[in-house]
Amino acid sequence: MKKLLFSGIYFLTLFSASSQSCQDNEVVLQLNTGDWASEVSWSITDSLGNLIDSTSQTYADSTTYYDTICLINGCYNFNMFDTYGDGWQGGSYQLSDSLGNIFSSGNLQGSFSFGSNMFSINSTSCPVLGCTLPSAVNYNPIATVDDSSCQIISDNINLLFNWSDSTLPVNSLGGSYTDVYGVAINGGEYAVIGSTMGAHIIDVTNPSQSYEAAFVPGAFQGSLVTHRDYFHMDNYLYAVCDQGSSTLQIIDLSNLPNLVTIIYDTDSLISTTHNIFIDTLNKKLYTTSGKVFDISDPINPSFLFHMGFFYHDLYVENDTGYFNCFSNGLQIYEMTANSPQYLGSLTSYPDQGTNHSGWKKDSIYIMADENGGLSLKVIDVSDLNNLQVIALFNSGVLPSPAVPHNLIIRDNFVYVSYYCDGLQVFDISNPNNPIKAGYYDTYPSIYCSGFKGNWGVDPQLPSGIILASDVQSGLFILEFDYNEESICDGDSLLFDTSYVNVDGFHISNTIDSLGYPDIIVTELSTIPITSSTQSFSICNGDSLVVGSNVYTSSGNYIDTLSAFTSCDSIIYTSLLVSNNSYTFDTLVASVSVIWNGIQLSVSGDYSIVLINSAGCDSIVNLNFTYNHILAINNNNTKERTLIKITDVLGRETNGRENKLLLYLFDDGIVEKKIILE
């Protein structure tokens, strides 16, 4: 997805205007020159080819000119000329009304001496050429036909905030800012950006409301400053400068966002150095002048040893250092014993220039040569005795990529500060084939060369925001914006023109409906299908419901349901259906009996529901006959005595529940009883 943002650019401005007031449509011509501007000229003709206006002025390089032209309603052509025939070399034009509405814009690029763009003034009889992309910086709201002139400054990278200070001195690079470094402390996130005056500590915890929380003046200040560098360990920020009478500064950050404190500021160990790197595991601070210091006591550094050579930048991982040694390429040393031991080097490689900087992840090291048009290199460092360049990649910006400067790898992406080409982000999940995933042009000038634009980058803060420093425009707080999609296990996603089902990032460089390049980035994740096993026992006549299915018989069942993730959830069910039980008994008694807690003294049918061993109903039925005649002996009123109790087989017993028993009395009466519980 492409995002664009207007960035103000200031030029020397010259005005020329007609001495007579315009009674028709006053059109403002803005002409921006690039190189070899003296070869440039223009004219405006109507639809019949009649000359309406032209220039005979000789233009200066890299200057913006304004002219006003009075035009009646109708169709016109803006004609561009170059006497040498190599185009306008970075020049461009724009036609707008007094309210700033753009009628036409464009440039003459390539090996051409002439080009023409049609435009309309309050006329529907002719097409209006211009940029029709609403998010472009040169969007023409009245254009009916896109003329491929849209200026796109970003793709998949969003601007969250831009901080700058217009009062800072400007240095020889045409700006005021140097490197940027991110620090997370006390639950907050901070960007440290160097300037010609010192270190500005910007609270970026809430990116859209970022503010300068603290400022640390540099020991040397002013327009001569072009390089400052930073690194932090624990609660301390280490700051250096490469110009003037500078010092090593150690700054306590533990009280952010309220205040910071300089606790060390002296040139006794370091006066000037281009860059620093801290091996935080072994608490060693490396300078590009070759000196290495022990910072196990973080506020009292002490000299350890000298590497024995100079280098522009370095990356150190657990006492193994990768040193960018200018024309001597990449040198690798091990420093465990505080005595550098040579491990390997790469002194000849494709697209070789001035070896400048690099970063390592796992067995991959990516480095940049600080030369315009040269590609970055992906190096396999798994075997230090046989370093291999396995891929080359660059910004792809035409007519030629700018100068790559600094880079940092996070996860499967490398973030490159690319000067005039801005921030460039590449997917290196396949290190043999890096793919451009996004960009943001921090300095979208039509005229940019050398060391203007994006100087430093740091994407390492926990929140994932990207910090970028621009020499001219200060601090940019950015975010990587991509699509996130999920599929169920076994499914696939239509991405671009093919189906994908592998987790991770998928990137496609396409052309949008207007013909502009567009980078599509999608992160795909697979949601696993869940499963569960359950067992149930029910009674005959009952049922079990699983999803939309109803089960009444014993068996094993498989059901596929839709989970809250919208993916399948498979349920395995084992069902046992148990039968209810029934019993029927008869009982004749001459006395009332207790049956399952019920006193029976009236003949009749009785029923009670109990629970059997399977947990189902046990229905017990009893036909009870009460024969009171057996209990009456009119001639004998003597109280009876129980002789014994036997079962139906005549075996004597003390009485058992739920069994038919015979009670023998001394008067010859035998009673049958069942005691039910």
Q: What is the pLDDT of residues 163-172, one digit of tens each?
A: 999 999 999 9
Query: Rounded distance, CA 358 to CA 355, Å?
Result: 9
Query: Rounded distance, CA 195 to CA 128, Å?
Result: 45
**Helices then strands, each counted (H, E), the chain:** 0, 58
Contact 25, 97 (CB under 8 A): yes
Higher pLDDT, 343 or 660: 343
User: Is the pLDDT score of 352 beyond 60?
Assistant: yes
- Which tokens sit at 508? 């496609």
Q: What is the pLDDT of residue 648?
A: 60
User: Is the pLDDT score of 15 beyond 60?
Assistant: no
User: Is the pLDDT score of 426 beyond 60?
Assistant: yes
Q: What is the pLDDT of residue 344?
A: 98
Calculate what percentage of the chain has a pLDDT beyond 90.
66
How would residue 3 be classed by pLDDT, with cut points 50, 70 and 90? very low
Q: What is the pLDDT of residue 629?
A: 56
Contact 278, 296 (CB under 8 A): no
The residue type found at 416 is V
* 369, β-bridge pairs: 355
Q: What is the pLDDT of residue 236?
A: 98
pLDDT, averaged across the chain: 90
611, with CB counted inside 10 A (0-12, 13-18, 19+), is: exposed
- Which tokens sit at 487? 């599929």
User: Is the pLDDT score of 631 beyond 50?
Assistant: no
Average pLDDT over residues 534-551: 92
- Which tokens sit at 233? 């360990």
What number of other Cβ atoms are within 10 A of residue 438's Cβ? 27
How would residue 2 be classed by pLDDT, with cut points 50, 70 and 90? very low
Calculate what percentage of the chain has a pLDDT beyond 70.
94
How would residue 668 be classed by pLDDT, with cut points 50, 70 and 90? low
pLDDT in tens, 362-386: 999 999 999 999 999 999 999 999 9
Higher pLDDT, 657 or 320: 320
Average pLDDT over residues 85-100: 92
Q: What is the pLDDT of residue 10?
A: 33
Query: Which residues in the chain are classed under CATH 2.60.40?
Result: 13-152
pLDDT in tens, 577-602: 998 888 888 888 878 888 888 888 88
Higher pLDDT, 284 or 148: 284
User: Is the pLDDT score of 502 beyond 90?
Assistant: yes
Q: What 8-state DSSP symbol labels residue 629?
A: G
Cα dihedral 91→97→102→105 (10° resolution): -30
Peptide bond into 257 cis (omega under 30): yes
CATH pick for 13-152 out of 1.20.5, 2.60.40, 2.40.70, 1.10.20 = 2.60.40
Cα dihedral 119→124→130→136 (10° resolution): 140
Fold of 155-481: Methylamine Dehydrogenase; Chain H (2.130.10)
